[in-house]
Structure 1
């Protein structure tokens, strides 16, 4: 984090926004831990599951709740793209309720920010009885989840004082993608040329998050434009679909605005009917493979005379003419667009809470982890 941003952080009045401003430093520390910049390799030191055991694994299941579930969806996509491994993502409580069957060839990736999420720990306990191997991703050192696991990957995000997940979510996102690329390296599914390209982008992420933080005032202005709304529809495709789910949740839990996330391709299969003048659409639109399809959907919404808010890459001037509001984040790979874009949504949600007179650190009825 730059000296200027550190000074700003010291003057911030709430834990939520302070947590948000810690993210460049947390991401930088994770990169130093897991990326060999000189050799262009992803590292997970002392990885406790040897190649022989990993090769016997024929099923991978992510178990999570809330924001961790959304991070796990991105992990699923990254595993498929970079390690050529298909996986499942389940809500931990549903996994327990349906008495899911696993075995010694199943790898469970259990994800919990605190490590004390009751549903996740119940699901892990059930999977362990069936001889599944457990990898956990958590910010909770010596937590119940950590102690139940064969191998633990730590977020290293420090204590998150606000209730809403911000820095723990972005650290999860980075770890998910790093782990997928690590397995791709191990099993020679990702070419070294591609790893080099990814590593060269990874090392730029802390500074790019800094640039998103510098849009704080602009996001405050946007919050002032939309804070009186009660509903918002959020759309994304591929890696941006889990981002849409997370953005909708962040707005729900902090601002009490009813946000609903959709896979963009599904929007015309029913949800378009609820798009009205009091329910704008928030689109995540990186200039990647799905850009033309997303642009066509934005046009359809605007043809209906509905409002469109777009989060896209810096330099994309095309959307300024078609969207009502555009939020820019630095250019990056589609894989890392959620990590940058979600920071802008966290800041937007924070400012909306203030405009509504809500305490951003203590949303009503909620607790930091559910036992």
Structure 2
């Protein structure tokens, strides 16, 4: 049986393939300046992680909305000239209906990102972009999350190129930077495995997990929340750095373990200040960073990567931790639970 860990180990070769085979001549991307992304769950987190790259590299504005809320309460801003609907399975009921709402009343380009070219969502959008990562049969998506982040980044490059905001030389440099990042994934997994072996006893004993990120790695912190909640099944939450300082810190106690996601940024000193303060109030503060060296509780990945690309890599340790912590706690992730949930709640077609 294929496991969540198997898919984690497939990420490097899968993402290499995605970059190599991506079609930068996708239709109707020219002159896109305002883009609405509809996504939920890990797809939402992936969109949040890719947002900064898309806006800065593609030179456009990105708005991300939950499709169910948009369907019942939302309104399309007339400035939007592209809607991207993200659903790895292609069966998300709310996302499908949200796209139908848009295409029924608005003349606007729609693209769906999915791993299944024959899924229901492909029937309601103008165009389909296959995530090109195969079908992930484990419910706790890992490879699919990373594939979504990368495809959104590549899509923004295609938009910038077709809109003549980026020349061929810059496009090739961006592709080279993404390739360089992807080539480091196996190294990241190896370093994460060694770090986990040293920390697994204390991680097993934690009763509350938190992750704090900033900039594009706010999306990484939110995906940590999703993965840990799904697998470790203990209270887990991801926060944007400054948001944590406005109230949530008041719940901190000696049973909490906090992961700080840190990149070389103007915000780094703010993260270090919060970490320094919280260390005496919680069980443990860990750091997942792009740095070349760190202390005993820092997983320093030694990555020569820009902050806007870093979410593609900094999520890997959390995926690995989620699987391993669940396993040492005796949770069988291969055993399906709430098997009738989607059928009863009609959350997927």
For residue 261 of structure 1, what is the aligned residue in structure 2? 238
Deviation at residue 68 of structure 1 after TM alignment: 0.1
Structure 1 alignment gaps of length 5 or more: 1-12, 35-42
Q: Distance in 2 between matches of 1:344 and 1:145?
A: 31
Partner residue of 1:91? 66
> In 1, distance between residues paired with 2:325 and 2:48?
27
The answer to whether the aligner puts 1:44 opposite 2:24 as a matched pair is yes
The CA deviation at 1:125 is 0.9
Matches within 5 A, 1:4-83: 14-34=2-22, 43-45=23-25, 47-49=26-28, 51=30, 55=31, 59-83=34-58
Residue 95 (structure 2) aligns with: 120
Aligned to 2:322: 349
Superposition TM-score, scaled by structure 1 size: 0.84
Paired residue for 2:224, among 236, 242, 247? 247
By how many angstroms is 1:108 displaced?
1.2
8 Å contact kept, 1:329–1:340: no
Partners of 2:219 and 2:111 in 1: CA distance: 21
Judge which range, 160-169 or 282-291, deviates more: 282-291
Task: Tell me the residue number matched to 1:203.
Answer: 179
Is the CA contact 1:232–1:257 (under 8 Å) kept in the aligned structure 2?
yes
Does 2:331 align with 1:358?
A: yes
- TM-score, structure 2 as length reference: 0.89
> How far apart, CA to CA, are the structure 2 residues paired with 1:104 and 1:146?
24
Is there any run of 5+ residues in structure 2 with no aligned partner, and where?
none
- Whether contact under 8 Å (2:37, 2:64) holds in the other structure is yes
Secondary structure, counterpart of 2:139 in structure 1: coil
Does structure 2 conserve the Cα–Cα contact (< 8 Å) formed by 1:139 and 1:156? yes
CA RMSD of aligned residues (A): 2.4
- Quick check: 226-235 or 324-333, which moved more? 324-333
Deviations 1:208-241 (A, max 9, x none): 0010222324324433321222211210000110
> Per-residue deviation at 1:101?
3.9
CA contact 2:29–2:162 (8 Å) conserved in 1: no
Q: SS where residue 280 of structure 1 aligns?
A: strand
Contact 1:48-1:150 within 8 A present in 2 as well: no
The answer to whether structure 1 residue 338 and structure 2 residue 326 are counterparts is no
Count of matched residue pairs: 341
Give the match for residue 273 of structure 2: 296
- In 1, distance between residues paired with 2:8 and 2:317? 10
Question: Structure 1 residues 280 and 49, CA, compared in 2 at 3 Å: closer, same or farther?
Answer: same
Confirm whether residue 329 of structure 1 aligns to residue 317 of structure 2.
no
Deviation at 1:195, TM superposition (A): 4.1
Report what 2:260 is aligned to: 283
Of 23-32 and 324-333, deviating more is 324-333
- C-alpha contact 2:33 2:59 (8 A) present in aligned 1: no
Alignment deviations for residues 232-267 of structure 1 (CA, whole Å, 9 cap, x no partner): 121000011011000111011011021111110222
Per-residue CA deviations over 1:78-104 (Å, capped at 9, x if unaligned) read 232112211211111101121534669
Hey, what does 1:150 align to over in structure 2?
126
Q: Is the alpha carbon distance of 1:32 and 1:367 closer, same or farther for their aligned partners in structure 2, counting shifts above 3 Å?
A: farther
Moved more, 118-127 or 210-219: 210-219
Contact 2:140 2:230 in 1 (8 A): yes
Once the two structures are TM-superposed, the CA of residue 156 in structure 1 deviates from its matched residue by 1.1
- The aligned counterpart of 2:137 is 161
The answer to whether the Cα contact below 8 Å between 2:43 and 2:148 also exists between their aligned partners in 1 is: yes
Asked if 1 retains the 8 angstrom alpha-carbon contact of 2:263 and 2:291, the reply is no
Q: Whole-Å Cα distance in 2 between the matches of residues 189 and 149 of structure 1?
A: 26
1:226 aligns with 2:203: yes
